Amino acid sequence: SAVISQKPSRDICQRGTSLTIQCQVDSQVTMMFWYRQQPGQSLTLIATANQGSEATYESGFVIDKFPISRPNLTFSTLTVSNMSPEDSSIYLCSVSRAYEQYFGPGTRLTVT
Amino acid sequence: DAKTTQPPSMDCAEGRAANLPCNHSTISGNEYVYWYRQIHSQGPQYIIHGLKNNETNEMASLIITEDRKSSTLILPHATLRDTAVYYCIVRPLNSNSGYALNFGKGTSLLVTP
């Protein structure tokens, strides 16, 4: 299994500011994933983060808006930049291990 | 990844079996059927997966049709804590693959007293 923690668990931010979300895994993993879940919606993959290389972004998501760092095999950050109310969502990090994918508890972001 | 179709919502009485269907008519030979659930305000949780044989674990059973075009997740004795959104996902099995999951809309299961 994998135990994943995220910080902060929730935040309320002003429009135009940025928030960095941290994801910590209890053991080393090759790839980490960042998802967004907008209110009442399913999860959407933002990007895949490999240690030591640039993250790979899905269609509709760009690095300038969602920069990702992956400094080592147990940690990653996602920044939500220049926030608008449309960025209000739950942001979840995830890792794959064997045949399962494990998810963090999520960061609930509200932009006012 | 192949697309899946699930009913948007279902109800089940506590203590009864909950049978959640999923259609995946375009599934390819190397794709497995995975089920996850998301209890309100939590991250998704793995339930079970299978290729073509029926599977059972401590949480649920997975019945896959012979042509693999559909499957059913069975919670044998649903409890109130099983109220959640259930996602059926097909993807290749690849240990340490890094393959992300493609979530559809899922089925919102409500277990009632």
For residue range A43-54, list pLDDT tens digits in order.
999 999 988 788
Residue given tokens 């375009």 in the structure block: B26
pLDDT of B41 reads 81
| B61 has a pLDDT exceeding 80 | yes
Give the number of other Cβ atoms within 10 Å of residue A8's Cβ: 12
- Mean pLDDT for A39-45 is 93
What is the tens place of the pLDDT at every residue in A62-96?
Answer: 999 999 999 999 999 999 999 999 999 999 999 98
> Residue B1: which pLDDT band, with cuts at 50, 70 and 90?
low
pLDDT, chain A, mean:
93
Identity of the amino acid at A30: T
Residue A97 CA to residue B79 CA, distance in Å, equals: 29
Percent over 70 (pLDDT), chain B: 93
pLDDT of B95 reads 47
In A, what residues contact B, Cβ < 8 A?
Answer: 4, 30-31, 33, 35, 42-45, 48, 50, 92, 94, 96-106, 108
Chain-centroid distance of CA A15 in Å reads 19
Chain A residue with minimum CA distance to B43: A105
- Partners of residue B99 in chain A, C-beta under 8 Å: 96
- Which residues have a Cβ under 8 Å from the Cβ of A47 and sit 6 or more positions away? A33, A34, A55, A56, A57, A58, A61, A66, A68, A78
Query: Do the Cβ atoms of A111 and A82 come closer than 8 Å?
Result: no
Identity of the amino acid at A77: T
Question: Which two structure tokens, joined as six digits, stand for B53?
Answer: 């044989």
pLDDT, chain B, mean:
91
Report phi then psi at B48, rounded to 5: -165, 160
Can you name the residues that pair with B19 across neighbouring β-strands?
A: B74
Stretch among A53-62, A74-83, B5-14 having the lowest mean pLDDT: A53-62
- Which residues have a Cβ under 8 Å from the Cβ of B67 and sit 6 or more positions away? none
Residue A107 CA to residue B102 CA, distance in Å, equals: 20
| B96 has a pLDDT exceeding 60 | no
Residue B53 CA to residue B71 CA, distance in Å, equals: 11
